[in-house]
Structure 1
Amino acid sequence: MPHPRLMRDDAVRVHRILLNLAAFVIIVAGMRAASALIVSFVLALFLTVLCSTPLRWMTDHKVPKFIAVLSLVLVILAVGTVIGGLLGTRVVELGSTEAQLDRLFAEQVAAIEVSISGWLARFGLQGPELAPGDLLSPSALLGFFRQLVENLGYILANGLLIILTMVFMLLEVSSFPTKMRVAFGEADATEARENFAKVGAAIRRYVLLKTVVSLGTGLTVWALTALLGVSYPVLWGVLAFLLNYVPNIGSFIAAVPPVLIAWLQIGVGTAIATAAGFLVVNVLWANVIEPRWMGYSVGLSTLVVFASLVFWGWVLGPVGMLLSVPLTVMFRIVLGTNESTRWIAVLLGSERSDELTAAIESEVALAMGQSAHTPD
């Protein structure tokens, strides 16, 4: 018979696990209910993390902080305006051709039905009855991408809140270490600064290299679709650039509309060439160039990357899908700093997590050395 103390310890352990699970469910439910506000705050936080390095560089070179922050805000607004203009205008133009695309789609489906029925009739079989309404029509597909653009428009509409939050965060960056020392003491403040530096280094490294790869993917897709004569090549390039941030499935989603448009407007041969071109582009950038440039994975297992895509997409919507990997990397580093939760960070990591950790720690050491010479 088990010792009463052991039974009591087991009961306490189970009780603690159940409490943690209950707290996790409540937190996730609250995040999903307040997703609109959280998305704005998370975007502002990520922009602050990305802008902290150029801000520190400019202030170290005697640029006034107000001018430095204003310059970063103008750059962000310019990039958002260009992307929004390129994407929104082309989607509106494409939406005006929905009726024509649906008619062409119905004709192609009818032709396929006749071909299949004729081939099966040779063997005494009856062909299937294909109804275009039972399949994914171009108008339904365009509606999905229009929703993505509307979500981007929502972000731009709330851009003032995001930008203001980011500005206040950037203005607080220099005084944050002093506040940490006063609030938690020197030892705890140093540990907290190191943890924040690790998170920032991981996010900056991932976003910077992913942006370069996504930009290369978008430019290559634009050139490919323009060369093949597919309509709206700029739209497909911008779409490939944005969806390349969505791990695992983003590049496949970006390939569906141009392949469909090529099939309906030009022919099967061009559609096959477009699909093959997308396959080559994604293999080249995602499987050859990206691993070589990054030199390591994001520190997460493939299963965790896909699960994080589903989870953050469900909690925060399309923006959560775009930020799923940085958010999960951030939580993995935070969990790894606590002895009681380190096992979760290990389970989330990949086989090459040690390379990521070494790269981040070198950047953290550099950042801490620079901040040590910067007056608060």
Structure 2
Amino acid sequence: MDPHQPNPRVSVVGDLGRTPGGGRILLITAAFVIVVAGMREAQSVLVPFLLSGFIAIIAAPALLFLRAYKVPSIIAIILVILAIASTGLLLGVLVGNAVDDFSTQLPTYQAKLKTLTNDGLTWLSGVGVPVPQEILSKLLDPAKAMSMAAQGLSSLGGLLTNTFLILLTVVFILLEASSFPAKLHRILDNPEQSFVHFDQFIENIKRYMAIKTGTSLLTGIIIYVWLLVVGVDYPVLWGVIAFFLNYVPNIGSIIAAIPALLLALIQLGPAGTAWAGLGYILANNLVGNVIEPRFMGKGLGLSSLVVFLSLVFWGWVLGSVGMFLSVPLTMTIKIALDSNDDTRWLAILLGPEIEDEPSTPGKGGLLKGWRLPYKPNNDE
């Protein structure tokens, strides 16, 4: 090399593009493993910031509404933060008392559930059904479900210690939101084209979070009113749990119903449990199958398999709060993939089941109607 010539600049992106297929996959996999391991180790720091981001997205429409009426930015942000803090404080007082009382009564509930389980197994044996009582009493232990519910409530309650940090981060995110587009405009090579994808990405996330928050709130209110009428203890607590777990489609409503139905079984017996279960069925079918699809559409959904895998993955990476954030995080990734033509096929794979088009050729079997996008290589 001529010492008088400057060293050529190394382009990481260019080198990655010229990496052979196997090496590129290996490099991407290694980077993914490193990022996931780092997130898992930093979950205590990462979780509050992720919550702050989603709270800021939910609060953005209210902020834009106030700005549309010429309210100064700083005053609008203060009003939004006061509304968030007041809502959180009210929920903390109502739910906190219920959680404390529920935790105090937990040993009594566990003992009653154990007795009910043993009575049920004895009855089955009496009518001639062969039941291995020792094995089933260990496998079918509803007391463990109540204990797990209490542990989950305690872990979620631990987030209250980070309330100030979360609210402070939300304030700075909302303050930065107005100047962030101008910064992107300065650093991007083709800002007009990039902003089309960026605006679509942000709008889809805001739309998803707004619709999901509204339907979750409606679900929580219906569950609260229904259980209050039926006579199940702590209806506010079960309504709040139904609100949060409604962010997890398909499985969340089932998880939210288990502790409330077990408590109804202890208090009201089988008939009361049936009435309480009917409320959960009606609420989740009305909201999940009628109202939400009408506003959400098919473009902002996930397949049942992806929902389950994201629940396991984000729960392992970020803990119990990661299970609550699993679907919003996965939806964010899906929306980001869908906003780019090169990665839209991945978003389709993550999405819900789609109906086969009549013109789509299929050879039957598992892959009937599927055609992966193929882009001819100019080098061939």
1:42 aligns with 2:44: no
Aligned-pair distance for 1:351? 5.3
- For residue 144 of structure 1, the aligned residue among 137, 140, 148 is 148
- Asked whether the 8 Å contact 2:299–2:351 carries over to 1, the reply is no
1:270-309 mapped onto 2 (5 Å cutoff)? 270-309=272-311
Q: Which residue in 2 is equivalent to 1:117?
A: 125
Does residue 168 in structure 1 map to residue 168 in structure 2?
no
Matched residue type, 1:219:
I
Per-residue CA deviations over 1:111-147 (Å, capped at 9, x if unaligned) read 2233222222xxxx86533489625556533332223
CA gap 1:194/1:136 in 2 versus in 1, 3 angstroms: farther
Q: What amino acid sits opposite 2:227 in the alignment?
A: T
CA RMSD of aligned residues (A): 2.7
Question: Are residues 295 and 263 of structure 1, via their aligned partners in 2, closer, same or farther at CA, if it must alter by over 3 Å?
Answer: same
Instruction: Find 1:105's aligned residue among 109, 113, 121.
Output: 113
Following superposition, the deviation at residue 220 of structure 1 comes to 1.7
Per-residue CA deviations over 1:45-85 (Å, capped at 9, x if unaligned) read: 22222333332332343212111111111111112122222
- Write out per-residue CA displacement over residues 308-348 of structure 1, whole angstroms, 9 at most, x where no aligned residue: 22222221223322222222222223234455544423322
In structure 1, C-alpha distance between the alignment counterparts of 2:157 and 2:229, rounded to whole Å: 30
SS at match of 1:266: helix
In structure 2, runs of 5+ residues without a counterpart are 1-16, 356-380
State the alpha-carbon separation in 1 of the partners of residues 110 and 340 from structure 2: 56
> What amino acid sits opposite 2:71 in the alignment?
V
Q: Which moved more, 1:33-42 or 1:272-281?
A: 272-281
For residues 282 and 144 of structure 1, the distance between their equivalents in structure 2, rounded to whole angstroms, comes to 23
Residue 248 of structure 1 is matched in structure 2 by 250
State the Cα deviation string for residues 82-120 of structure 1 (Å, max 9, x = none). 222222211211222223223322332332233222222
Aligned partner letter, 1:329: M
Q: CA deviation at 1:173?
A: 1.8
Deviation at 1:24, TM superposition (A): 0.9
2:265 is matched with 263
Q: Partner residue of 1:33?
A: 41
Change in 2 beyond 3 A, CA 1:105/1:322 = closer
Quick one: which of 63, 74, 81 aligns to 1:66?
74
After TM superposition, the score normalised by the length of structure 2 is: 0.80
Q: 3-state SS of the aligned residue for 2:133?
A: coil
Cα distance in 1 for partners of 2:331, 2:150 equals: 30
Q: CA deviation at 1:11?
A: 8.4
Aligned-pair distance for 1:237?
A: 1.6
Q: 1:218, 1:240 within 8 Å by CA — same for their partners in 2?
A: yes
Tell me the equivalent position of 1:346: 348
Q: Take 1:10 and 1:192, find their aligned partners in 2: how far apart are those partners?
A: 24
Q: CA deviation at 1:256?
A: 1.0
Closer, same or farther in 2 for the Cα pair 1:143/1:88, shift >3 Å? farther
Between the aligned partners of 2:131 and 2:66, the Cα distance in structure 1 is 69
Instruction: Tell me whether 296-305 or 325-334 shows the greater mean CA deviation.
Output: 296-305
2:333 paired with 1:331: yes
Q: Deviations over 1:185-236 (max 9, x none)?
A: 4x2x334433332222122212222222222222221222222222222222
1:233 aligns to what? 235
**Given the alignment of the two structures, is residue 21 of structure 1 paired with residue 29 of structure 2, yes or no?**
yes
Cα distance 1:52–1:191, how it changes in 2: closer, same or farther (>3 A)? Answer: farther
Q: 2:161 aligns with which of 145, 157, 160?
A: 157
Match of residue 370 from structure 1: none
User: Would you say the 8 A contact 1:104–1:264 is kept in 2?
Assistant: yes
Return the letter of the residue paired with 2:205.
I
C-alpha separation in 2, matches of 1:346 and 1:225: 39
Superimposed CA distance per residue, residues 269-300 of structure 1 (whole angstroms, 9 cap, x where no aligned partner):
22223223322222222112221233435243
User: For residues 191 and 158 of structure 1, what CA distance do their matches in structure 2 show?
Assistant: 39
Q: What amino acid maps onto 2:66 in structure 1?
A: M
Hey, which bits of structure 1, 4+ residues long, moved more than 4 A? 130-133, 135-139, 337-340
Higher helix residue share: 1
User: What is the identity percentage for the equivalent residue pairs of Structure 1 and Structure 2?
Assistant: 42
Residues 297/267 of structure 1: CA separation in 2 closer, same or farther (3 Å cut) = farther
Is the 1:41–1:162 Cα contact (8 Å) retained in structure 2?
yes
Distance 1:289 1:145 in 2: 28
Q: 1:116 to 1:348 in 2, by over 3 A?
A: closer
